[in-house]
Amino acid sequence: MINLELPKKLVAASNQAHQAAAEIFRPISRKYDLAEHERPVELDTMASLVEGMADAGRGAAGATLGRDGKPTKEGNINGGNMSALMNVIETCWGDVGLTLSIPFQGLGNSAIASVATDEQLEQFGKVWASMAITEPSFGSDSAAVTATAVQDGDEWVLNGEKIFVTAGGRSTHVVVWASVDKTKGRAAIKSFVVPKDAPGITVARLEHKLGIRSSDTATIMLENCRIPFDHILGSPEVDVKKGFGGVMATFDNTRPLVAGMAIGCARAALEELRSILSEAGVEIDYNAPAFSQHAAAAEFLTLEADWEAAYQLSMKATWMADNKKPNSLEASMAKAKAGRTGTAVTLRAVELAGSFGYSERPLLEKWSRDSKILDIFEGTQQIQQLIVARRLLGKSSSELK
């Protein structure tokens, strides 16, 4: 029998994140959406709170993913991944862009937590790390990385250009994907922790965007950038047989987290829409068939059912990550479902609310803009469906493109 009730420790952390979302994020959400690239100084007050949550294995955006706990005799734990999912759902209920702007909680932190050694976690566990994968020549095909890393004595020398780096302007470090040997293909792609004050790294520009406007998105240049040798995450050896799996395994932890972001944003839209419908005299009746209710109520029930499916898929993928079970299929399923559902729910909420939903009086139109990125970054909808197809059909990336 499956127990879907959250344990008390997760409920307490989730409630704390919800309080921060309601009292800090929501009141300043519109302000920083309109003031794009302005640093949300209100989040500085959260630094100590976030650090305390991370120390307890409950990072607001996943800084301690998968680092705590081992399966019990029954094979069941709820660790850093589940804590991060619950927290990010609540903070994105408040604001997605502000969640991505929380100090020390970048997606690069999740990568560090996923694959770093204990020594590296001690070294980089308190930094603010963004993630730099995408380049001008490719988007979702992570194997097409052209940035290079060459060993020079006890240092690595990195060269390349990275675009769409979330929190790239404000973070203190960047986790950069680069190839250590172009002749060996995707197996040679490694991730490196690059301090922003390292020689040769510059922030070239900040992007103007449709949504998550309070979060800075940067283009980063690496020109003979030198970092210490031990700043490589994982082994520097190129294992052609093992291939690209070691680096890509990071996504098995972070994709359910992005799904959680979409779930939080979509829940905010559903709650707002229900309030608007109720004020208009449209009530949702769970004891009556959808076809016998008002058309808007029937539509709401459909959207809510899709949201519930996305939530459960994300919970499953996250639980599997905490319990050290292979979850690549489930992580992509959760990301695909939640990304698509988040966009559908927020856009439909704007439509059902009419001219009021299209105005800037509620946050509905903002949530519809914010949610779109959650179906794109960390692997687009199409990429997730391709991964799911490969896993279900037992095909490799070369067999099914």
Domain borders along the chain are 8-124, 129-233, 245-393
Q: Looking at the whole model, is its pTM more than 0.75?
A: yes
Among 151, 143, 106, smallest CA distance to 127 is for: 106
Extended beta strands in 12-144, E state: 129-132
Give the model's confidence band at 60: pLDDT under 50 very low, under 70 low, under 90 confident, else very high: very low
Whether the per-residue pLDDT at 72 is higher than 90: the answer is no
Q: At CA 32, angle to CA 28 and CA 33, rounded to 5?
A: 110
Say how far apart CA 190 and CA 145 lie, in whole Å. Answer: 10
pLDDT value at position 241?
62
pLDDT, position 366: 98
How many helices and strands in the chain, by DSSP H and E? 14, 8
pLDDT value of residue 2: 59
Express each pLDDT in 327-360 by its tens digit: 999 999 999 999 999 999 999 999 999 999 999 9
CATH superfamily ID and name for 245-393: Butyryl-CoA Dehydrogenase, subunit A, domain 3 (1.20.140.10)
CATH code of 129-233, in short, is 2.40.110.10
Domain 8-124 has what CATH class?
mainly alpha
State the catalytic residues.
378
Residue 244 pLDDT level (bands cut at 50, 70, 90): low
At 144, the amino acid letter reads A
Q: What is the pLDDT of residue 109?
A: 87
The two three-digit tokens of residue 148, written as one number: 């290079």
Cα–Cα distance measured from residue 174 to residue 29, given in angstroms and rounded to the nearest whole number:
26
Q: What is the pLDDT of residue 38?
A: 94
Mention every residue, 6+ apart, whose C-beta is less than 8 A from residue 304. Answer: 270
pLDDT at 253: 86
C-alpha–C-alpha distance, residues 135 and 210, integer Å: 20
The rounded distance, in Å, linking the Cα atoms of 114 and 121 is 10
The alpha carbon of residue 308 and the mean position of all alpha carbons in its chain are separated, in whole angstroms, by 19
- pLDDT at position 333 is 98
Distance CA 334, CA 384 (A): 9
175 or 117: which leads in pLDDT = 175
